[in-house]
Amino acid sequence: YEVNPHTMIVFPKKSGSIVYSEIYEVDSQYTSKFTPFELIKTSCNFFGSSYDGRKEGTKHLIGVTHKPPIIVDPVTSTYVFPTAAPSTTDCIWIFPQHIKDYQTIGYNHTLIRFSNQQTFEIDMSLASFNNQIARTSMLHMKFSQKMRMMESNFPSLNMFFPPATIAAETRRYYNTMILEN
């Protein structure tokens, strides 16, 4: 399994000493024999970089090294952040592009509602959750700024990587004059 633009959240699930993943997408649910961290690593590889490379990119762009958000796939703007140290067996990976809203539900618990109305309770304080959301937003903003700078400095690149903000057709003006019989 590779994470993709439909992935919302990846939970660790334990069965004895074995840790596997429970994956929720917008319209599907999957189980994987790999740990969540292994899934994130292999997904980074699938999209052309190592996890360590993505982590280093985050450090370079926003200076975060502890529980860093990661750009899994820059082409589809697939970002993810961990709820704990990534290598720990209780770390959940959240894809914020699908979050509709969230709220505290007691000490160190946050309830997340996704765009498909599914809700999940996680063991993370609202302050920590807000911090991870802010870091991911900052990473997205800094990366987008770099891409826009490259597009403006090297317009010929747009032939290979067209800006996402260009409309599919040009704007037309229509004559709205009413003709009388």
Condensed to tens digits (0 to 9), the pLDDT of residues 85-106 reads 999 999 999 999 999 999 999 8
The string of pLDDT tens digits covering residues 122-167 is 999 999 999 999 999 999 999 999 888 877 787 666 555 555 555 4
pTM of the model: 0.84
Distance CA 177, CA 80 (A): 52
> What is the phi/psi pair of residue 139, to 5°?
-60, -45
Look up tokens 């370079």; give the residue.
60
Give the torsion sign (CA, 27, 29, 32, 35). Answer: positive
Helix H or strand E encompassing 30 = strand 29-32
Give the torsion sign (CA, 124, 88, 99, 138). Answer: positive
The string of pLDDT tens digits covering residues 2-52 is 999 999 999 999 999 999 999 999 999 999 999 999 999 999 999 999 999
Distance CA 110, CA 124 (A): 6
Cα–Cα nearest to 118, from 92, 134, 98: 98
Phi-psi region of 51 (alpha: psi -120 to 50; beta: other; left: phi over 0): alpha
b (16+ CB within 10 A) / e for 7-33: bbbbbbeeeeeebbbebbbeeeeeebe
